[in-house]
């Protein structure tokens, strides 16, 4: 079986991706420092698939710790890099934290990609790279515009880093610019359950509906 490393495997999108990979015959390991997640989704993955995956509680900003994971798993054939801070509002208030976390992590992962000659790399980007688009809906050919937040800027910079590395190497890379992923696995064993106050629309709606938060704020005037 080909081994895939999923960074952020304890997160919402990462956990669903792990399930899909396992169901399609891949061996999977995860790196997640649990700073914005917990291991409860790993339990759901195991219940759904009958397989227990190993998560390395490693801070990707620490190169030596990151390198040790690759040294222990020299048969990694592909990486899907989800791990990142992702709250737009928080990024405005704590820009340096976002630049440090989101950029150092992708650089350290790509250093390992280079050292271990890993041929496939998927970067979890964001629709925020389109900034404030002139035409809605955007398409893959829509221009990238100035980011509206430090979070969006880290995704734009991350894309450039990945593109430049791919051009200079053998690595096949792809950028995923998705919008607002929502929903849960049909078993309801894994879904989106933020540890802190939710930042995404659907968790805000559902938590407001059950009274967990008192009100929902709609930003903008258009």
Active site residues per annotation: 151
Whole-number Cα distances in Å, 135 to 178, 218, 222: 17, 22, 14
What gap in Å lies between CA 11 and CA 20, rounded to an integer? 14
Helix residue ranges, H only, the chain:
12-23, 40-49, 63-72, 88-93, 95-115, 150-167, 201-209
Across-strand partners of 3?
27, 76
What is the Cα Rg of the chain in Å? 18
What gap in Å lies between CA 189 and CA 46, rounded to an integer? 10
The DSSP code sequence of 117-148 is T--EEEEE--GGGG-S-SSSS--TTSPP---S
**111 token code pair:** 């250093």
**125 token code pair:** 């980007």
What gap in Å lies between CA 133 and CA 137, rounded to an integer? 9
Q: Please check whether residue 80 is in contact with residue 5, taking contact to mean a CB–CB distance below 8 angstroms.
A: yes
């Amino acid at each position: 079986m080909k081994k895939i490393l999923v960074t952020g495997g304890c997160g919402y999108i990462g956990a669903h991706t792990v399930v899909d990979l396992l169901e399609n015959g891949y061996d999977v390991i995860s790196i997640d420092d649990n700073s914005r997640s917990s291991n409860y989704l790993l339990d759901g993955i195991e219940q759904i698939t009958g397989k227990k995956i190993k998560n390395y509680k490693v801070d990707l900003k620490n190169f030596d710790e990151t390198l040790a994971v690759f040294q222990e798993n020299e048969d990694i054939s592909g990486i899907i890099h989800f791990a990142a801070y992702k709250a737009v509002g928080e990024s405005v208030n704590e820009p340096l934290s976002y630049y440090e976390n989101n950029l150092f992590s992708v650089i350290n992962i790509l250093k390992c990609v280079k050292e271990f000659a890993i041929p496939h790399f998927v970067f979890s980007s964001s629709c925020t790279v389109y900034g404030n688009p002139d035409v809605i809906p955007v398409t893959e050919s829509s221009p990238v515009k100035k980011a509206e937040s430090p979070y969006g800027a880290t995704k734009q910079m991350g894309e450039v880093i990945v593109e430049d590395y791919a051009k200079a190497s053998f690595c096949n890379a792809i950028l995923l610019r998705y919008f607002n992923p929502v929903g849960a696995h049909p078993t309801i064993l894994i879904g989106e359950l933020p540890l802190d106050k939710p930042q995404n629309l659907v968790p805000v709606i559902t938590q407001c509906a059950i009274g967990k938060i008192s009100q929902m704020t709609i930003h903008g005037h258009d």
